[in-house]
Each structure stands twice: as structure tokens, then as C-alpha cells.
Amino acid sequence: MSTALTIIQPAALAQIDHAGAAANRAAAGHVFSAYAQRRPVNTLRRQKADLDCFVHFLCTCGIDVQENLTSDPAAWAGITWGLVAAFVQWELKAGYAIGSINVRLSTIKTYAKLATQAGALSPTEYAMIRTVAGFRFGEGRNVDAQRAQTRLGAKKEHTTPIGAGQALALKDQADSRDQLLMCILLDHGLRCGEVAALDVASIDLVAGTLTFYREKVHKTQTHRLSSDTLRAAMKYLAQPRSGSLLGMSTREINRTVGELGACLGIERLSPHDMRHFWATAAVRGKTDIKSLQDAGGWSSPAMPLRYVESAAIANDGVRLG
């Protein structure tokens, strides 16, 4: 049996090489936009803030970055692993939290990879950037112990705890909108952005349900309203309303929650503190983790455990038979 060999002529090989190079150039031009299409808006917003901080650092070094690091591969030309390592040290001296430093480093590595695919960074330089290490939990504690200022920015290091009595007081608001806001946050654990996106049609008073969209997991959910939330909704919606349910931006929600908390002596209260309270109350009420994961819109069963406060007596929940 004979074997037929197909010999590709040099001219054909040249055509293939030319076509391949053209395809690479075309793909490189779309690397950043293709990445952006796959990511949630909130992720892209956070990454832009991360890279804006990196640009600020570069400016302090006398490096003027004209292009946008989140969309233009050319902006990454000249970025080296030494600059990235220096940025980490600069953040440490500036007092940024270890978690924030790790997140920004991860963002830089993500976009450095895209820039390498687009041909703006050499594979060798990208490999070196990847060697710039963040901080493990224990390492972060050691670093914090050796610097005077360990946190910079508005984000809190620790959750503000809320007691059961305080939760009841927070829901007992004279203003019907404030009352509904606090009930939704405390009894349903919605994220601030999810509350801001609610419209009047989100609440069905007859069925006693709240339907809303969770952007983080790209899912529309329905919660059965708690008795307190249902009463607050009936009071608030007694007046004809349309459009946005509360008519509040995330900034306004954060400000309102902080002010209402301060009235009760709870300093720096945030909507996210209420999500922690909701998760903790659910677990202590014997809610299983899978149900809590579903209700809270978490993609991993490990996430709700991070929201649950530790018990004052560590072994209260332990049963030995």
C-alpha cells in the first residue's frame, strides 16, 4: 500500500504565514474589548479604579501614561516588572490595606497578560511581572504589625456588628421609604446595587414576593417577603408610585444607612453590614448553607460562611451526641 505525500510549495507556505500574521494582528486588536465583553460592569469598574491607582503611582515616578490601561494595549508598552514591584511597595508605604494591594496586583497581571497577547508586552516581561507576589494572610499580618498606618480609603476593615435589638430599631422608621429600605436590607440580604435597581413592579403585594436581578451571578430571584417587609411595602406603596421603587442611588442608600445607624449610636453602618447580619441570623436560625447560598446569590458555598459572624461562645453550635 502506497502513501501519498502532499508537498506544500514555498509560495503556499508564504501565503499561510502572511494570513496567519494578519489573523494575529486582527485578534490582537480585539483582545481588550473581547475581555471586557465577558466581564460584569462592576468588575470592569473596579479594575479601572485599580489601574487608575497604578497610573497615579506612575505619575509620581515621572511616567505620564496617556493611553487607557483598560482598553489600549499600547499603554502597556514600557511597563516592567520592576515598576509593578515598586507599585506594591508604594502602596504599602501609603497605608493601603493588604487585601486592596493583592486585588490591584491581580488586576495588573490580568491586563498585562492581555497586553502580551496583543503584542505590547514581551512574553519575557510578562513572565517577570507574574513573579511579583502578593501577600498571604499571615504575611499580611506581619507587614501590618510593622507599619503605623495599615489602611487607606473609605472601605472598612471590619464589619460593623448589628444586634437583634438594633435591627428591630433600624426597621422601626417613621419615614415609610426608610422603613422599607431597612427591611429589605436586613430581612433579605440584598446588595446595595440590587436595592438601587428595584422598581415598583419588583414587589407583588398580592403574592407577597420581591423579584430582583442579581448581577454578580446573572440571575433573577424571587424572595418571599418577610412579615416586616410586607407591612413596610404596603405602607410605602399605599401612595401610587411608578418607576424606581425607592428612587435612590447606591451613594444615597449608603448615606441614608449611615445616618440612620448613627442615630442609634451605630457608627459607620453600611448596607453590606446588613447583609452580614442577615446571613448570620439565617445560620443561627438553622438555615442550611445550600439554602443560604441560593437565597444570597453566591456562586460558591464558601462565600456565605465568610459573612457569618463567629459566635461569642465558640462551641455553642457543637453537638456531641
CATH number at residue 265: 1.10.443.10
Q: Count structural domains, the chain.
A: 2
Task: For residues 207 and 298, state if they share a domain.
Answer: yes
pLDDT of res. 296: 92
The answer on pLDDT for 250 being more than 80 is: yes
Task: For residues 174 and 300, state if they share a domain.
Answer: yes
pLDDT of res. 30: 84
Q: Which residues, including other chains, have CB under 8 Å from residue 17's CB and lie 6 or more apart?
A: none
Q: What is the pLDDT of residues 192-241, one digit of tens each?
A: 999 999 999 999 999 999 999 988 888 899 999 999 999 999 999 999 99
Q: What is the mean pLDDT of residues 29-46?
A: 87
Q: What is the mean pLDDT of residues 288-311?
A: 84
Q: Which residue, of 85, 111, 145, is where some domain finishes?
A: 145
Confidence class for position 318, pLDDT limits 50, 70, 90: low
Extract long-range pairs of 264-268: CB within 8 Å, 24+ residues apart: 264/166, 264/169, 264/170, 266/160, 266/162, 266/166, 267/160, 268/156, 268/160
The answer on pLDDT for 27 being more than 60 is: no
pLDDT of res. 13: 56
Domain presence at residue 155: no
Q: What is the mean pLDDT of residues 243-250?
A: 95
Domain presence at residue 313: no
Task: For residues 207 and 135, state if they share a domain.
Answer: no
The answer on pLDDT for 276 being more than 50 is: yes
Task: For residues 181 and 105, state if they share a domain.
Answer: no
Domain presence at residue 88: yes
Question: pLDDT > 90: what percent of the chain?
Answer: 61
pLDDT-wise least confident of 86-95, 152-161, 245-254: 152-161
Domain presence at residue 168: yes
Q: What is the mean pLDDT of residues 255-276?
A: 95
Q: Whole-number mean pLDDT of the chain?
A: 87
Task: For residues 126 and 203, state if they share a domain.
Answer: no
Q: Which residue, of 85, 113, 145, is where some domain finishes?
A: 145
Would the pTM of this model clear 0.75, i.e. be above it?
A: no
Confidence class for position 1, pLDDT limits 50, 70, 90: very low
Task: For residues 187 and 80, state if they share a domain.
Answer: no
Q: Which residue, of 92, 111, 145, is where some domain finishes?
A: 145
Domain presence at residue 151: no
Domain containing 177 equals 164-307
pLDDT of res. 299: 83
Task: For residues 181 and 127, state if they share a domain.
Answer: no
Task: For residues 137 and 180, state if they share a domain.
Answer: no
Domain presence at residue 6: no
pLDDT-wise least confident of 96-100, 167-171, 173-177: 96-100
More confident residue, 51 or 150: 51
Task: For residues 214 and 301, state if they share a domain.
Answer: yes
